[in-house]
Amino acid sequence: MKIDRLAFSGGGSAFAFTTERGVADSGNPYSEFNCCGYVGDEQSHVSACRAVLCDQIGIADGNLITVRQVHGTEVAVVDTVGCDFGEADALVTNLEGVAIGVFTADCVPMLFYDKQVGVIGAAHAGWKGTMSGIAAKTVAAMCRLGAAPERVQAVFGPSICRECFEVGDEVVEQFCERGLPADGIVFRNEVTGKAHIDLVAANRYWMLGCGMYERNIVETGLCTKCNPSRFFSARALGVASGRNLTGIFLR
């Protein structure tokens, strides 16, 4: 297993991270390090991975909160530990020592942080969540806990790059119907003629639209599909595979 620290542009003491597969067995799509319990992996393996992660990042067992993600726009407000937050695609909290995280394998993981008031968020955005503005909805949920958009910092974890993310024209049409600009978000491959979407750019559009500042947004620039031995990638490994976990906690 391997844990990468993610850094916000404006610093702060929050611990932000993303997991890597580690020493992956190429014949096993859940190898080596998978913390997601609803994608077909053995529960014993998932539990062991989660325990190792909590130990490595220095939080109590059971203080790693994740949800069953459904490509919607629900934001779970984590105000206690030890309960099941059900289905959602983003989480926010102001509790110290409680890590919130999202699972992805090509979709876009985003972490948010207002260091002044100590409020954090984590969101998962595939094309549906991206199109529906889950990034802005997560920031709005943080603001209900006292955060302010002009102070919120964001960092993207690894996700599919625009060259790898080919989509059908019907997806592009839905993006445009939602009011997202094609400029800087939709591209056309000149060889294949196929449309491509830059999911990070589209999520950045929502962040700026809700009042966040450009200087507070950091991109990782790492593509999951281009690096399937390093990161889980649904397009490279199939949907029955592990997930990268991108998370954050206040300390």
The site for Zn ion (CB under 5 A) is made up of 161, 164, 223, 225-226
Minimum CB separation from Zn ion for residue 227, in Å?
A: 8
List, as one string, the DSSP characters of 214-226: GGGEE-----TTT
Instruction: Choose between 117 and 171: whose C-beta lies nearer to Zn ion.
Output: 171
Closest distance of CB 107 from Zn ion, Å: 13
Residue 86 one-letter amino acid:
G
Kindly give the interhelix angle for 199-209 and 134-143, rounded to the nearest 10 degrees. Answer: 40
- Strands (DSSP E) along the chain, which ranges? 2-6, 15-20, 64-65, 75-78, 90-93, 99-104, 108-114, 119-125, 153-156, 166-167, 186-188, 195-197, 217-218, 244-249
Residue 155, token pair as written in the block: 């960092």
Residue number, 149 or 228, with CB nearest to Zn ion: 228
For the bound state, the minimum distance from the C-beta of residue 223 to Zn ion, rounded and expressed in Å, comes to 3
Q: Which is nearer to Zn ion, 164 or 167 (CB)?
A: 164
- For the bound state, the minimum distance from the C-beta of residue 185 to Zn ion, rounded and expressed in Å, comes to 16
* β pairing state of 90-93 and 119-125: antiparallel
Residue closer to Zn ion, measured from CB, 69 or 224: 224
Q: C-beta of 224: minimal distance to Zn ion in Å?
A: 7
78 versus 223: smaller Cβ distance to Zn ion: 223
d(CA 15, CA 92): 15
As a dihedral over the C-alpha atoms of residue 161, residue 165, residue 171, residue 174, rounded to 10 degrees, the angle is: 0
In this complex, which beta carbon is closest to Zn ion, that of residue 137 or of residue 230?
230
Kindly state the smallest distance separating residue 34's Cβ from Zn ion, in Å.
21
